[in-house]
Chains A and B, each alone.
Chain A
Amino acid sequence: MALLQVRDLTVSFRTSDGLVQAVRGVSFDVQKGRTLGIVGESGSGKTVCTQTLLGLTRGAEVGGTAEFDGQDLLTMTSAQLRRVRGARIAAIFQDPLSSLHPLYRVGWQIVEMIRAHERVSKPAARARAIELLDLVGIPQAASRVDDYPHEFSGGMRQRAMIAMALALNPELIIADEPTTALDATVQAQVIDLLQRLRDEFDSALIIITHDLGVIADMADQVLVMYAGKAVEIADRRTLFYLPHHPYTQGLLESIPGSAGVNEKLRPIPGQPPSLINLPSGCAFHPRCRFVMDRCLTEIPELRTVERGHLSACHLPLDLTGLGSADDSARQQAADAGREKIG
């Protein structure tokens, strides 16, 4: 059985402008020792999704289930959740500066975290903190443990966050844009570190990012989100080489260098939709190249394209992949679909 089983998760927020449907029915599994990548643009609901699992979306209306090792995280009391959070599920956030308290020493913050969950003496917890900082590659960990966060560089702070996340050998680590705030050479160090640690501790890892390069590097399984829904789920190679959903395809073609350096980029036209006023039918239809009449009225279900590859699109399942030949085949299918309805 999967370590984490999320079924039909919905999250919405009541605001003065109306109901914001941030997550609209997302299901996924995370296996032990595996990495799930969640990719999507700003506002696609990828962060809300995982923050809800950690009980961090206060005031939201939450539906569905999220079973972690057989227990539903969404119905736990806050006392129960506190025992799981940090100890069994750890989180690494995007901005390492605002995730560390600026007025406490880095080591103290790790010690506090350990002692909140386990009955260990302060010196023992401190020794563990030094060990962890050393493990994540902080030089002279024994003296740096008493530094304040502002004395660390961005990369070191992110490593300190990773050290804190690892402190209690969690079974699941949720990393929300762990490398976005870092420079390329430091990003390479952190990705390398996360992969090594996942293998060493056999934890499950959820990586949330908008950077398809990080996904290509790290994820075993990839979930693509658009406007609060999972539009495609596939293993890494299938997603990059044989995507089915036009949104995934559009994302891949938007990356500079994807079509050759001198080719013009093919961006997805238009803007992501407002989560208050969602388009009818498939939320992607206003931006889709292959839109059919059916897409305006019917919300596509997540269907199996082939084993382990799911896509929420009305286009025929045998049409997948990038390239102009496939595009024209898709176009024909879209036209045919239109005729059938008309």
Chain B
Amino acid sequence: MTKPDPTPSIQRRPSDDDVLLTLRGVVKHYPIKHGIIFKTEIGRVRAVDGVELTVRRGETLGLVGETGCGKSTLARCITRLFPLTAGSIVFDGQDISRLSRRELRPYRRQVQMIFQDPYGSLNPRRRIGSIIGDPFAIHGVADGAERKRRVQELMELVGLNPEHYNRFPADFSGGQRQRIGVARALALRPKLIVCDEPVSALDVSIQAQIINLLEGLQDEFNLTYVFIAHDLSVVEHVSDRVAVMYLGKIVELADRDQLYGQPRHPYTNALLLAGSIADPDRARARRRIILTGDVPSPVDPPSGCRFHPRCPKAQQLCFDTEPQLQPEPGDPVEHATACHFPVAPGEDLTVLTPGIGSAVDQPTEG
């Protein structure tokens, strides 16, 4: 197994030492096997390849990136839905990365997850009262009338009618189903909730309802969220800090306002300008950085900086050496970027943009 060099940990302000979750060099590789009887490993999908991250108590850490960048795998590593390939995860002072299933049970009460698909994440044959009551049953917390009372309390809390206790998931719309998922995640009063694209399957008006619900619950129960989404405006709205992932690595990590105001990594810049803006004048005024091509395969990631084949600023150094995630000169220590040639404030990347084929080689004009 190749051991990826862990990026140096980021210096923290002394006031921010109330850390709930620490990830050190977290690696998750999926083997690709070939053969029927004698399975030999012919490659590895490097889904998460050395992630260093801390999550503070009570904050919302946004995690953005495109399909296949490893953000959902990272979420499943944090919740320990499967074992890590390497690295460690420390939650509230305890290393949970090597615990057995049995030893993990207390941890499971404190860390819950909300999933993207409100259709796939609820068993269609079970009544929602029993779905929401599952955590109580599994952990032996409450049963009988007590369980029902607590489930109905939860339903009320997330804005469902407690009288619908005996209905099936099919009787509910997408937004209501997502509320059921939220109620189930809240049942054991966890400290950390990992939200994996909790609103991307919902319509805009319903999406806003769920975001407000999650924010309200965070204030009420002092929850910590790891909030994964590909929609940058949603992440900007909910997050305190934001980490940008590309091909299994974090390429930029900063306070929300820092990241959106002064993105240093060329990928972050392109991502922010690519996101849709629901404002015609601003949409026409911006100049998009049209990146060439697609995200490369994580089976065989590019050498050096993984973004170099698509990067408008790439040079020989990017091809040879992998950049470390560290604060760039002039940035606050909180703002770490993994780039050899970070984007200077005011720099125009569009002039460097290579085209994607002959038809589309000029930047968008307003």
Question: A interface vs B, CB < 8 Å?
Answer: 41-42, 134-139, 153-156, 183-189, 192-193, 195-197, 210-217, 236-237, 240-241, 250-258, 261, 264-269, 271-272
Pick the residue among A137, A265, A271 that contacts B357 (CB under 8 A): A137
Give the chain A neighbours of B173 by CB distance below 8 A: 271-272
Stretch at the interface among B78-86, B137-145, B287-295: B287-295
In the complex the two chains form, is A254's CB within 8 Å of B208's CB?
yes
Separation of A328 and B279 alpha carbons in the complex (Å): 24
In the complex the two chains form, is B294's CB within 8 Å of A155's CB?
yes
Separation of A187 and B275 alpha carbons in the complex (Å): 8
In the complex the two chains form, is B288's CB within 8 Å of A192's CB?
yes
Does B318 reach chain A (CB closer than 8 Å)? Answer: no
- Known A-B contacts A134-B357, A196-B360; the reply to A264 vs B215 at CB < 8 A is yes
For B, the interface residue count at a CB cutoff of 8 angstroms equals: 52
Interface centre among B204, B207, B291 (most CB of A within 10 A): B204
Pick the residue among B209, B238, B279 that contacts A240 (CB under 8 A): B279
In the complex the two chains form, is A216's CB within 8 Å of B294's CB?
no
Separation of A109 and B206 alpha carbons in the complex (Å): 39
In the complex the two chains form, is B357's CB within 8 Å of A136's CB?
yes
Separation of A215 and B277 alpha carbons in the complex (Å): 9
Does B359 reach chain A (CB closer than 8 Å)? Answer: yes
B interface, over-half SS: helix
Closest to B66 in A: A183
Give the chain B neighbours of A187 by CB distance below 8 A: 274, 276
In the complex the two chains form, is B212's CB within 8 Å of A267's CB?
yes
* CB-defined A-B contacts under 8 Å, sample of 22: A134-B358, A139-B357, A154-B294, A183-B67, A183-B230, A185-B270, A188-B273, A188-B291, A196-B360, A213-B277, A216-B283, A217-B280, A217-B283, A236-B280, A241-B280, A254-B204, A255-B204, A255-B278, A261-B236, A271-B175, A272-B173, A272-B203
| Shortest beta-carbon distance from B263 to chain A in Å | 14
- Known A-B contacts A254-B207, A265-B237; the reply to A216 vs B278 at CB < 8 A is yes
In the complex the two chains form, is A213's CB within 8 Å of B280's CB?
no
In the complex the two chains form, is A240's CB within 8 Å of B290's CB?
no
The 4 tightest CB contacts between A and B, nearest first, are A213-B276, A137-B357, A267-B208, A256-B237
| Shortest beta-carbon distance from A58 to chain B in Å | 25
Separation of A186 and B207 alpha carbons in the complex (Å): 23
Known: A211-B276, A237-B281. 15 other contacts (CB 8 A): A41-B203, A139-B356, A183-B295, A185-B270, A186-B66, A192-B290, A210-B203, A213-B275, A217-B277, A240-B278, A256-B236, A261-B257, A268-B208, A269-B209, A272-B173
In the complex the two chains form, is B209's CB within 8 Å of A267's CB?
yes
| Shortest beta-carbon distance from B206 to chain A in Å | 7
| Shortest beta-carbon distance from B298 to chain A in Å | 13
Give the chain B neighbours of A217 by CB distance below 8 A: 276-277, 280, 283-284
Give the chain A neighbours of B356 by CB distance below 8 A: 137, 139, 189
Give the chain B neighbours of A255 by CB distance below 8 A: 204, 208, 233, 278
Does B234 reach chain A (CB closer than 8 Å)? Answer: yes
In the complex the two chains form, is A257's CB within 8 Å of B207's CB?
no
- Known A-B contacts A210-B203, A264-B212, A267-B205; the reply to A252 vs B278 at CB < 8 A is yes
**Which residues of chain B (228-247) have a CB below 8 Å from chain A?**
230-234, 236-238
Separation of A156 and B295 alpha carbons in the complex (Å): 12
| Shortest beta-carbon distance from B285 to chain A in Å | 11
Does B271 reach chain A (CB closer than 8 Å)? Answer: yes
| Shortest beta-carbon distance from A275 to chain B in Å | 13
In the complex the two chains form, is B237's CB within 8 Å of A254's CB?
no
Give the chain A neighbours of B257 by CB distance below 8 A: 261
Separation of A280 and B290 alpha carbons in the complex (Å): 48
In the complex the two chains form, is A265's CB within 8 Å of B360's CB?
no
In the complex the two chains form, is A216's CB within 8 Å of B280's CB?
yes
**Which residues of chain B (171-223) have a CB below 8 Å from chain A?**
173-176, 203-209, 211-212, 215
Give the chain B neighbours of A193 by CB distance below 8 A: 359-360
Give the chain A neighbours of B293 by CB distance below 8 A: 139
Give the chain A neighbours of B271 by CB distance below 8 A: 184-185
Does B123 reach chain A (CB closer than 8 Å)? Answer: no
